[in-house]
Structure 1
Amino acid sequence: MGNKETRNRLIEVTKRLLTEGNSLETLTARHISSEAGVNLAMINYCFKSKDELLKIAVEEIVATEFYKYVDVKSDNSTAKEQLRNILYHVCKAMLKYSSLTRMSIPYIMLNEEISLPYDIMPFIKKHYEGKKDETQCKVIAFHIVYTMQLIFYRSKDFFKYSGIDVDDEAMMEEFLDSQLDLFLGRE
């Protein structure tokens, strides 16, 4: 098995173990390597650390949730409604995997290239249909994505501050709607 195949196998096994409910506390590098059928040292060889492997696996899990709904289009839906549907499902995934996403959010926000807002840019552009230029749309997409990430990461502190519990699905949905109204306006 080549390095690329080993790397991919480790990611896939880690994703499977995480989605099967293994907690971060019980999921060890030894467990991952054993399930993948590779030498324990391959985790550090293919990734900087077990944490790097976990971060990649979590990102792929959430990205899968995003892309599951990004192609769901309705001729009757506005761009804002389509974006809301997608973000709602991503937020549900973030709730479902909250212990995992809380671990990866700081790394994504502080260390990775800013790329996640590009995923929602088509909806922002369509919503404004030429009323906002590219830069304005990028800033709006950035605000939506990074505000949501920060709120989910600091959900307990945000609840103390605002009284909004984004860990509760109904309150999360209400918060999502208020954010979209704030950044995209009411329809």
Structure 2
Amino acid sequence: MDKRNIEATREALLQAAGRLMTACSDPSEVTSRAITKEAGVNLAMINYCFGSREALLFEVFSRLQHEAEQQNPVFRSIVQSEMPPKQKLIRLHVEAMNMMLKYSKYVKAITKYALLSRSISASRGSLPFIQAHFGGRKTEQECRLIAYELSSLHELVLLRHEEIKAACGVDLTDERVLLKYVTDHVNMFLGE
């Protein structure tokens, strides 16, 4: 298969998975067979192009997240603001978590992959703000670990947010509660 065909197949799989995730009521309905049938490609192409169904769904969500961030002026205004880096980090995490709550089907479908298979060395959106906050007092590796820990904690909490609400009374769909939750955890990792 030549490079153009591989790219066309990748794109067909991404589009098909996106359509199916949008239409489903439960992400477990979006099986590899359903995706490849929708895309009109061989079942083996998911593993060939992405490595796994979960990696494919993670890529679909990453694109969706990027598009939402580009279209949402709040993200841009936070980044361009004069707020201290820690405040930017808090506001960005609140906005990202709100978006993930909106797309909770994806959270259920990709969290295990994101926590266990995503590259730890991959760039994290939080990293520059954490580095700016510490101003050289921590190494890049230490800051990268904090970014990974913070994003992983938030992903896991979002996956279980309904159980957390029932068991702990913490309703992350309430904007004030979410802001307090994020602020507390950013303070825990970055210090008061």
TM more than 0.5: yes
User: C-alpha displacement at 1:106, in angstroms?
Assistant: 1.1
Check 1:48–1:185 CA distance in 2 against 1; reply closer, same or farther (3 A cut): closer
Cα distance in 1 for partners of 2:51, 2:80 equals 43
- Determine which of 41, 44, 49 is the counterpart of 1:39: 41
TM-score by length of structure 1 reads: 0.76
2:146 is matched with 140
Q: Distance in 1 between matches of 2:168 and 2:123?
A: 25
The answer as to whether partners of 2:28 and 2:109 remain within 8 angstroms in 1 is no
Please say if 1:114 is aligned against 2:126: no
2:191 partner letter: G
Greater Cα shift, 149-158 or 48-57: 48-57
Say whether 1:22 aligns with 2:24. Answer: yes
Q: Distance in 1 between matches of 2:143 and 2:31?
A: 42
Instruction: Please name the residue that 1:6 is paired with.
Output: 9
Equivalent residue of 1:118, what SS?
coil
1:26-175 matches, cutoff 5 A: 26-27=29-30, 32-33=35-36, 35-36=38-39, 38-41=40-43, 42-43=45-46, 46-47=49-50, 50-65=53-68, 69=75, 72-115=78-121, 118-175=124-181
Aligned-residue CA RMSD (Å) = 3.1
Residues 110-136 of structure 1 show CA distances to partners (whole Å, capped at 9, x for unaligned) of: 123214663311101111212333343
Question: Gaps (5+ residues) in structure 2?
Answer: none
- The whole-number CA distance in structure 2 between the counterparts of 1:110 and 1:15 is 22
Q: Which residue of 2 aligns with 1:183?
A: 189
Report how many residues are paired.
Answer: 184
Cα 1:179–1:53, aligned 2, differ >3 Å: closer, same or farther? Answer: same
CA contact (8 A) 1:66 1:89 kept: no
